[in-house]
């Protein structure tokens, strides 16, 4: 069964699906006035077999007055024979150095003859015709129709192999280098469309990389960006095809370094700037950035592009009703701000950056009384949620920078939007979004002392975190626990946690044996144990025993975690708690662990002096308890 044609997502241009030899013959070159001579005969056995797969013992007749093709040819053998003849003709012209413009005196006769092959329904034969025509540098309408013919062949994936064993790809790339959009725009349009289709094939991508396609495309894109009027329709159409091709190449490991070495990461920003009205071009560029910014070297190259942050913000505002464009720009900004503190600050310092992001947040915040989503009637609820997932990630990453985090924590609109999202969504329906929102709130609550808004809202936030704690999603539970770790420095929040029995859940998290989970749970317990009234409840839940188990099982490989565990044990055993902070058996185990860790810390030097002092205090403390000499002193380490 014939392979299904590729989806027709080609933008612009005239209807090309009916081609005839009449249209191709309309502008046959007739510039040579000399009498046609008899053609030379040649045999090219080896190359012929490689390129056509047929017999090598062929003669090529180029006489203009001879009929090269019978009126009706339909059998496979005849088509095969014609392909062989085309290969032989190409080889003869190449050997005689007659390829190229106006090098062959009988060029017109040759073209007139091979154009008659167009009516035959054979993609392979069409490719041989196209190869000859492009090698002879046809121009004008002939070039346009040949490019249309090649494009038609490329629409079927079954024909991809036909482009791997001839010079058609080379000729198309040469067109991009040689021709100009203002004089040859439509032919370039179909040529670029062909490359877009073929770039979905890994084998063809490898060939394109060998032929330095990215450099060629880059140079042509620069030419298009120098077009006096960027609103010229054909230039935009060509850019859609080229950027779609680059988007496909961005999926391939071998292609990514060339985006950096040829400065495409920065020059595509110029495309966004010059063609900001063209949503298709902007969407393709955003797709390239979203793919490549996931890789460190590409992300760094983009981060070093001047004004890219301001440009992205402008496009987010301009195209806010186009979710597929918005979500990719936000994903790129999330990648830029994920590990780069300077990027967080640069984005924040852009003019009205926070206002633009929060305005977008409000637009896509799906409220119960509103149809999904507000920005665009055609967008789905899932698209709107995807936008929010990426947008909240950007906010969460920006908060890591101290100045930015403090400013966002004091921004009433920001805090209210995040809280509203948790009110409107459930973990079961919107897992990724609720987890991202909790992570953003966790980062913001780090700056609660500087934010009157957060201090006023801390109990409401603690209430919202219950939804996540009571879910069965570990990622949601972990983020909620981290939020409680920050908020529980407030006495009101500690009372809320104890009254709602959240401490029981936190203690059970210590059984996870996951260092991140245990560290977050330990932080909450450390703060809860500050209140003497809470220590008995924690002891009854077996908190001290579980903390000791975690210290033994996880502490040796994670000194930060072990220090936090010791801090929690210290607070639980300080004055005002139960008479027995730990069971005697646990106390013995703890003494052995602390003695062992102190020995290891002694070999590590001054970098862990704080941990060493903490271990030493705790060891001394429990030695006194274990020997029943006297109760330990009430001493808190911050």
The answer to whether residue 224 is domain-embedded is: no
Q: In the predicted model, is pLDDT for residue 311 greater than 60?
A: yes
pLDDT given at position 227: 73
Radius of gyration of the chain (CA): 35
Q: Tell me the β-bridge partners of 5.
A: 156
The answer to whether residue 209 is domain-embedded is: no
Structure tokens that stand for 121 in this block: 């329904």
Pair 477, 596 in one domain = no
- Determine contact, residues 502/544, Cβ cutoff 8 Å: no
Q: In the predicted model, is pLDDT for residue 241 greater than 80?
A: yes
- Comparing 8-12, 17-21, 138-142, 227-231, the range with the smallest average pLDDT is 17-21
The answer to whether residue 502 is domain-embedded is: no
Q: In the predicted model, is pLDDT for residue 54 greater than 60?
A: no
Determine the Cα angle at 580 with ends 578 and 586, to 5°: 135
Kindly provide the b/e burial profile for residues 87-112, where b requires at least 16 CB atoms within 10 angstroms of the residue's own CB: bbbbbbbbeeebbeeeebebbbbbbb
Tokens 């908060």 appear where? 399
Pair 474, 542 in one domain = no
The C-alpha atoms of residue 68 and residue 551 are separated, in whole angstroms, by 88
Pair 337, 480 in one domain = yes
- Comparing 319-333, 541-555, 575-589, the range with the smallest average pLDDT is 575-589
Q: Residues 487-510: pLDDT tens digits?
A: 999 999 999 999 999 999 999 999
Q: In total, how many domains does the chain have?
A: 2
pLDDT given at position 25: 35
- Comparing 261-275, 307-321, 359-373, 439-453, the range with the smallest average pLDDT is 359-373
The answer to whether residue 567 is domain-embedded is: yes
- Comparing 70-84, 563-577, 604-618, the range with the smallest average pLDDT is 604-618
- Determine contact, residues 45/56, Cβ cutoff 8 Å: yes
Tell which of 456, 487, 518 closes a domain.
487
- Which CA distances in Å does 12 have to 135, 179, 232, 269, 319? 27, 20, 12, 24, 21
> pLDDT class for 620, splitting at 50, 70, 90?
low
Tokens 């700037």 appear where? 273
- Which CA distances in Å does 246 have to 153, 257, 460? 21, 13, 48
H-only helix segments in 500-636: 502-509, 515-528, 532-540, 543-554, 559-572, 584-602, 609-626
Q: In the predicted model, is pLDDT for residue 18 greater than 90?
A: no
The answer to whether residue 629 is domain-embedded is: yes
What values do phi and psi take at 359, rounded to 5? -65, -40
The DSSP output letter for 540 is H
Share of the chain above pLDDT 90, in %: 58
Pair 357, 464 in one domain = yes
Pair 476, 536 in one domain = no
Q: What does the pLDDT average to over 562-573? A: 85
Tell which of 431, 454, 487 closes a domain.
487
Structural domain boundaries, residue 477: 333-487
Q: In the predicted model, is pLDDT for residue 175 greater than 60?
A: yes
Q: In the predicted model, is pLDDT for residue 529 greater than 50?
A: yes
Q: In the predicted model, is pLDDT for residue 310 greater than 60?
A: yes
Pair 594, 541 in one domain = yes
Tokens 């064993």 appear where? 165
Q: What is the overall mean pLDDT for the chain?
A: 81
- Determine contact, residues 305/346, Cβ cutoff 8 Å: no
Q: In the predicted model, is pLDDT for residue 585 greater than 60?
A: no
Pair 616, 579 in one domain = yes
The answer to whether residue 283 is domain-embedded is: no
Pair 341, 473 in one domain = yes
- Which CA distances in Å does 520 have to 482, 507, 527, 631? 5, 11, 11, 29
The alpha carbon dihedral of 264, 269, 271, 274 has a sign of negative
Tell which of 431, 453, 487 closes a domain.
487
- Determine contact, residues 290/333, Cβ cutoff 8 Å: no
Tell me, what CATH number does 351's domain have?
A: 1.25.10.10
Q: What does the pLDDT average to over 195-212? A: 96
> pLDDT class for 371, splitting at 50, 70, 90?
low
- Comparing 135-139, 279-283, 574-578, the range with the smallest average pLDDT is 574-578
Cα–chain-centroid distance for residue 322? 18
Q: In the predicted model, is pLDDT for residue 162 greater than 50?
A: yes
The answer to whether residue 307 is domain-embedded is: no
- Determine contact, residues 144/183, Cβ cutoff 8 Å: no
The answer to whether residue 107 is domain-embedded is: no
The alpha carbon dihedral of 102, 103, 109, 114 has a sign of negative
Q: In the predicted model, is pLDDT for residue 306 greater than 70?
A: yes
Q: What does the pLDDT average to over 610-637? A: 40
- Comparing 195-204, 593-602, 614-623, the range with the smallest average pLDDT is 614-623
Pair 347, 383 in one domain = yes
Q: In the predicted model, is pLDDT for residue 284 greater than 60?
A: yes
Structure tokens that stand for 277 in this block: 């009205």
Q: In the predicted model, is pLDDT for residue 263 greater than 70?
A: yes
The alpha carbon dihedral of 119, 83, 72, 64 has a sign of positive
Pair 618, 551 in one domain = yes
- Which CA distances in Å does 472 have to 226, 425, 432, 467, 476? 56, 15, 14, 10, 8
Q: In the predicted model, is pLDDT for residue 71 greater than 90?
A: no
Q: Tell me the β-bridge partners of 442.
A: none
Q: Residues 504-516: pLDDT tens digits?
A: 999 999 999 899 9
Structure tokens that stand for 381 in this block: 């609820």
Share of the chain above pLDDT 70, in %: 75
Pair 425, 523 in one domain = no
Pair 548, 605 in one domain = yes
The C-alpha atoms of residue 434 and residue 454 are separated, in whole angstroms, by 19
Q: In the predicted model, is pLDDT for residue 47 greater than 60?
A: no
Q: What does the pLDDT average to over 412-424? A: 96
- Comparing 187-196, 288-297, 352-361, 625-634, the range with the smallest average pLDDT is 625-634
């Amino acid at each position: 069964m014939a392979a299904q044609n590729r989806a027709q997502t080609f933008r612009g241009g005239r209807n090309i699906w009916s081609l005839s030899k009449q249209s191709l013959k309309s502008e046959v070159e007739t510039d040579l006035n000399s009498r046609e001579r008899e053609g030379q005969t040649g045999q090219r056995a080896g190359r012929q077999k490689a390129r056509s797969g047929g017999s090598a013992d062929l003669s090529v007749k180029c006489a203009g007055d001879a009929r090269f093709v019978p009126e009706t040819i339909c059998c496979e053998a005849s088509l095969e024979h014609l392909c062989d003849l085309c290969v032989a003709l190409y080889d003869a012209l190449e050997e005689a150095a007659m390829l190229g413009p106006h090098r062959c005196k009988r060029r017109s006769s040759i073209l007139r003859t091979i154009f008659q092959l167009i009516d035959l329904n054979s993609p392979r034969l069409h490719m041989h015709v196209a190869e000859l025509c492009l090698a002879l540098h046809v121009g004008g309408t002939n070039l346009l129709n040949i490019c249309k013919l090649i494009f038609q062949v490329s629409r079927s994936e079954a024909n991809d192999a036909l482009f791997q064993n001839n010079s058609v790809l080379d000729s198309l790339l040469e067109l991009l280098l040689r021709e100009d959009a203002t004089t040859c725009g439509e032919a370039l349009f179909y040529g670029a469309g062909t490359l877009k289709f073929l770039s979905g094939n890994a084998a063809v991508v490898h060939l394109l990389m060998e032929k330095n396609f990215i450099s060629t495309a880059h140079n042509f894109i620069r030419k298009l960006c120098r077009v006096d009027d960027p609103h010229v329709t054909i230039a935009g159409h060509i850019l859609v095809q080229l950027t779609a091709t680059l988007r496909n190449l961005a999926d391939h490991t071998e292609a990514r370094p060339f985006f950096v070495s040829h400065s495409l990461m920065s020059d595509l920003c110029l495309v966004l700037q010059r063609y900001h009205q063209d949503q298709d071009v902007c969407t393709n560029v955003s797709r390239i950035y979203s793919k490549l910014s996931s890789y460190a070297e590409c992300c760094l190259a983009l981060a070093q592009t001047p004004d890219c942050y301001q440009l992205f913000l402008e496009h987010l505002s301009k195209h806010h009703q186009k979710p597929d464009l918005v979500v990719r720009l936000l994903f790129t900004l999330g990648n830029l701000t994920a590990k780069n503190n300077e990027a967080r600050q640069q984005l924040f310092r852009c003019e009205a950056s926070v206002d633009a992001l929060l305005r977008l947040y409000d637009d896509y915040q799906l409220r119960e009384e509103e149809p999904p989503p507000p920005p665009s009637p055609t967008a789905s609820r899932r698209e709107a949620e995807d936008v929010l997932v990426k947008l909240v990630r950007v906010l969460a990453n920006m908060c890591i920078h101290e100045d930015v985090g403090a400013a966002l924590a004091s921004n009433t609109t920001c805090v209210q939007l995040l809280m509203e999202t948790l009110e409107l969504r459930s973990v079961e329906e919107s897992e990724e979004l609720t987890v991202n929102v909790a992570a953003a709130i966790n980062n913001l609550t780090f700056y609660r002392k500087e934010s009157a808004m957060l201090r006023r809202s801390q109990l409401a936030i603690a209430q919202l975190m219950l939804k996540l704690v009571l879910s069965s999603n570990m990622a949601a539970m972990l983020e909620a626990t981290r939020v409680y770790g920050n908020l529980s420095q407030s006495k009101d929040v500690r009372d809320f946690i104890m009254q709602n029995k959240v401490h029981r859940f936190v203690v059970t998290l210590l059984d996870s044996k996951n260092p991140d989970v245990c560290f977050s749970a330990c932080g909450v317990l450390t703060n809860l144990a500050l209140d003497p009234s809470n220590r008995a409840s924690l002891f009854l839940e077996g908190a001290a025993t579980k903390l000791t188990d975690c210290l033994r099982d996880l502490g040796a490989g994670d000194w930060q975690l072990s220090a936090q565990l010791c801090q929690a044990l210290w607070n639980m055993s300080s004055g005002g708690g139960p008479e027995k902070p730990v069971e005697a058996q646990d106390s013995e185990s703890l003494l052995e662990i602390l003695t062992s860790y102190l020995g290891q810390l002694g070999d590590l030097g001054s970098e862990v002096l704080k941990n060493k002092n903490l271990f030493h205090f705790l060891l001394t403390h429990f030695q006194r308890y274990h020997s029943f000499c006297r109760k330990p002193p009430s001493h808190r380490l911050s």
